[in-house]
Amino acid sequence: MSNETKYWSWHMAAGVVLFFLLGLHMLIMHMGGTMHMFAPHGPDAVSIANSQWRDSRFWFAITYIILLGVGLYHGLYGLRTILFELTLKPALEKAITAVLLLVGIGLFGLGGWAAWAAHVVALAGGKG
Amino acid sequence: MAEKKAIKQINFHVTRYNPEKDPKPYIQTYKFEVTDGMTVLEGLHWIKDNLDPTLAWRYSCRMGICGSCGMLINGSPTLACNTQILHLSHSDITVGPLPNFEIIRDLVPDLLSMFNKHASVSPHIIRNEAEIVDRKGEFYQTPEQLEAYLQFTYCIKCGCCMGACPTLATDVRYLGPMPLTALERYNEDSRDEGFAVRKEIASGDGGAFHCHYAGECSRVCPKGVDPGKAIQLLKRKLVLDYLHLAHTKKTCRKLEGPGHGKPLQNTAAPSRTIPE
């Protein structure tokens, strides 16, 4: 079985997860004024108080990390597909796949660390 | 029979190219009067008979069956024999060779790349050789089993879908809508057991996952085939196979003798009455 089926299957799975998490993101961040979801400190969803309240929740930190992972995978796979349409040489395609994998892992590591650090700081009452 | 009346003067802007003489394709315009019901193919014949005997194109049946006269007409890949001039325009018509193919001459595309890709997907029933060679009996299919692949059999290999595919425009390794539809046609056939053979090429470098589902192939198909659907079905099949969620295909049995000793189900379509 070719790797392409594997990549595509996870691309689809990441798309479904993105659909739900981005829907949740829209509800929380862009409809905060009317929905008041996960914003106990007033209607401004991006205020420091509301952000710290969300960051202090363990499952929110986990959700951020999952969103980052599926977003990166879905986006980088899409970029790879566009680049491969240029009829590149197989060796170059392998190199692109490796570079995108490294970039994805690097960004996921950085973003995951930032999300967890925000969680720890929020738990300490905003005193990092 | 009364002679048809010329009703409109049309400018035919035809792509000309002779690789032995011309550095690149160019447009030549022919002006003539067309009659009601005249097809683009008939227009090209009129040009050849009356204005320019050097114009080259490919055609055969003149009735939308053979798939020889696929060309780019007013920017859309379609069959010249199936397209009436006055349905498209009352002033100007552009006629060019199918995109995404090399040009042999004028409106004649080199379809060899398409046919090579078609051959590579094993577009035939794959089953136990002894069972096929044995002349006794025949494979029994229910109407539902036939329906699963029937529309894909209407493909006439005209290449219009290949000309319309935006992925093929940049990725020459992509198999394209026609070969992938042929591949899926046999995957859906209840007599076939060749998915394991075809799945490597279906999921490989030029396989189904290169399709972006632009849907142009389905829009332009002159026979109403839906290659976009075939490719999506193929993707689903490959993913389910990867996840080990695919149903084991129930291939149809071979029945020996009429009804294998038992009466066959009545598979005839219900009769229709035509309202007065």
Tell me the pTM.
Answer: 0.84
Element (DSSP H or E) covering residue A5? helix A3-25
Output the average pLDDT for chain B.
91
- What SS3 state is found at B133? helix
Residue in A closest to B201 by C-alpha: A2
Measure A2 CA to nearest chain B CA, in Å.
6
State yes or no: pLDDT of B265 exceeds 70: no
For domain A3-123, give the CATH number: 1.20.1300.10
Tens-digit pLDDT profile for residues B35-88: 999 999 999 999 999 999 999 999 999 999 999 999 999 999 999 999 999 999
State yes or no: pLDDT of B106 exceeds 90: yes
Residues of B in contact with A2 (CB under 8 A): 200, 203-204, 207
Best of A5, A6, A9 to disrupt the B interface (most B CBs within 10 Å) is A5
Of the candidates B170, B173, B207, the beta carbon closest to that of A4 is on B207
Contact state of A8 with B199 under an 8 Å Cβ cutoff: no
Contact state of A86 with B238 under an 8 Å Cβ cutoff: no
Q: Tokens 């995109």 correspond to what residue?
A: B99
Confidence of residue B264 (pLDDT cuts 50, 70, 90): low
Of the candidates A88, A7, A4, A93, the residue with the CA atom closest to the CA atom of residue B199: A4
ipTM of the prediction = 0.74
CATH 3.10.20.30 residue ranges in chain B? 7-109
Query: What's the rounded mean pLDDT across residues B156-181?
Result: 96
Question: With a CB-CB cutoff of 8 Å, which residues 3-62 of chain A face chain B?
Answer: 4-9, 12
CATH of B7-109, one of 3.10.20.30, 3.10.20.600, 3.40.50.2000, 3.30.1050.10: 3.10.20.30
What residues form DSSP beta bridges with B108?
A: B105
Tens-digit pLDDT profile for residues B227-252: 999 999 999 999 999 999 888 777 88
pLDDT of chain A along its 128 residues, tens only? 578 999 999 999 999 999 999 998 888 888 777 777 777 887 788 888 888 888 899 999 999 999 999 999 999 999 999 898 887 888 999 999 999 999 999 999 999 999 999 999 999 876 65
Pairing of strands B6-16, B92-96: parallel
What residues form DSSP beta bridges with B93?
A: B12
Contact state of B171 with A2 under an 8 Å Cβ cutoff: no
- What SS3 state is found at B117? helix
Return the pLDDT at B261: 47
Enter the tokens of residue A117.
Answer: 């650090």
Segments of B80-140 assigned E as strands: 92-96, 103-105, 108-109, 138-139
Return the pLDDT at B6: 64
Return the pLDDT at A125: 79
What does the domain layout of chain A look like in residue ranges?
Answer: 3-123
Return the pLDDT at B207: 94
Enter the tokens of residue B193.
Answer: 């057991």
pLDDT higher at A16 or B132: A16
CATH of B112-255, one of 3.40.50.2300, 3.30.1490.20, 1.10.1060.10, 2.160.10.10: 1.10.1060.10
Query: What's the rounded mean pLDDT across residues B116-142?
Result: 87
Question: With a CB-CB cutoff of 8 Å, which residues 147-186 of chain B face chain A?
Answer: 167, 170-173
Residue in B closest to A90 by C-alpha: B205
Percent of the residues in chain B that have a pLDDT greater than 70, as a whole number:
93
What residues form DSSP beta bridges with B58?
A: none
pLDDT higher at B260 or A29: A29
